Structure 1
């Protein structure tokens, strides 16, 4: 893990079969630590097998999670 800022973490996930499970675990673990709802965690693909996970400050309190399909 590489910490780029205080609000995000960059992950390089080499095992493609573990990407979904790993990102789900990160959101589940980060949410209570950041005192944010799961919908307040943003995941962006920042490169091949590289994902940036951070707080989404634009999500209103109490909003629901919206899954993005591929």
Structure 2
């Protein structure tokens, strides 16, 4: 699965904030760009797992690798 992510630098946090527009409420952050990307992958997995648990997903596969497109 691929998800588009929006990464912005937050000067107050002094790091990056990541949003996945397709997955409402799925956000993460990291002090470095790479950390933010790693953290959002974990957040996506968690978001999908919760949706699966509540019966709202029927296409989720346990060992899926998530890739994102980044717009800055």
Q: Same fold (TM over 0.5)?
A: no
Q: TM-score, normalised by structure 2?
A: 0.37
Q: Bigger relative contact order, structure 1 or 2, given CA contacts below 8 A and separation 6+?
A: 2
Q: Max radius of gyration: which structure?
A: 2
Q: TM-score, normalised by structure 1?
A: 0.38
